Amino acid sequence: MKTDKPILLVEDNEDDVDLTLRALKKNKISNEIIVTRDGAQALEYLHAKTADGEYQNPMPQITLLDLKLPKVDGLEVLRTLRAHPRTRLLPVVILTSSKEERDLVESYSLGANSYVRKPVSFEAFIEAVHQLGLYWLLINEQPPNQNGA
């Protein structure tokens, strides 16, 4: 696929990490996948600076964010990202088990770009990841000035 910017996956469930990686691989998405296991780690990855005041890590092309996370949950991560100048416009796709209405409403209210419910069927999940990759990595044009590496 056209971009080589990393994909940030925020997911605490080991199985889900493996299955997501597998689904990405099956869809031939070759971007580097950064996996963080809780909200705090994700924020650390995105907002940490070096001694020189530079951001430590490259901006991801997209962030796949689970909602139920230890320490700082997904919605809190999203709120913090939207309040921070670097990640204000970062595409965030909520990738979670629930389609509870309050999760949907809260996610969109806080500025999520998409909301994808992980299906039980792995085939359906592969298809969902395929669509996601197609849309966010190929079709969608990134917001400008997102290269604050």
Partner 1 sequence: MAAPGNFLSPKLLRTGAILTILLGALAGALFWRNPIEAAHAPVATALGILVTGLLLGALLRLLASLRERNANLEKTLATAQTESNLRQAAEATLHKREEDYRLLFSANPFPMWVFDLETLRFLLVNDAAVQQYGYSAAEFSNMTIKDIRDPETAGELLEYMSHARPALKNAGIWRHRRKDGSSLEVEVVSHALNWRGRPARLVLANDITIRRQAEADLVELTETLEQKVAERTAQLTAVNSELEAFAYSVSHDLRAPLRSIDGFSQALQEDYAPRLDAEGQRYLQRVRAATQRMGTLIDDLLGLARVARSTVQRREFDLADLTEEIAGELAARDKERQCAFSIAKPLPVNADPGLLRVVMQNLLDNAWKFSSKKPEAKIEIGLLNHSEDPVIFVRDNGAGFDMQYADKLFGAFQRLHSMQEFDGTGIGLALVQRIIHLHGGTIRAEAEVNKGATFYFTLGGVTANEN
Considering only the stretches 44-52, 54-62, 116-124, 131-139, report the one whose residues sit in contact with partner 1 under the rule CB under 8 A: 116-124
- Which C-beta is closer to partner 1: that of 1 or that of 19? 19
Give the pair of three-digit tokens for residue 147. Answer: 């290269």
Minimum CB separation of residue 100 from partner 1 in Å reads 5
Q: Rounded distance, CA 7 to CA 133, Å?
A: 10
Of 44, 70, 86, 67, which is closest to residue 78 (Cα–Cα)?
A: 67
Window 55-74: residues binding partner 1 (CB under 8 A): 67-68
CB-based burial, 94-133: b 16+ in 10 Å, e otherwise: bbbeeeeeebbebbeebebbbbbbbeeeeeebbebbbebb
Of 52, 54, 123, 141, which one interacts with partner 1 (CB under 8 A)?
123
Interface with partner 1, residue 99, by CB under 8 A: yes
Q: Rounded distance, CA 2 to CA 86, Å?
A: 23
Interface with partner 1, residue 121, by CB under 8 A: yes
Minimum CB separation of residue 103 from partner 1 in Å reads 8
Of 3, 5, 19, 76, which one interacts with partner 1 (CB under 8 A)?
19
Considering only the stretches 2-10, 35-43, 46-54, 122-130, report the one whose residues sit in contact with partner 1 under the rule CB under 8 A: 122-130
Q: Is residue 128 within 8 Å of residue 122, measured between CB atoms?
A: no
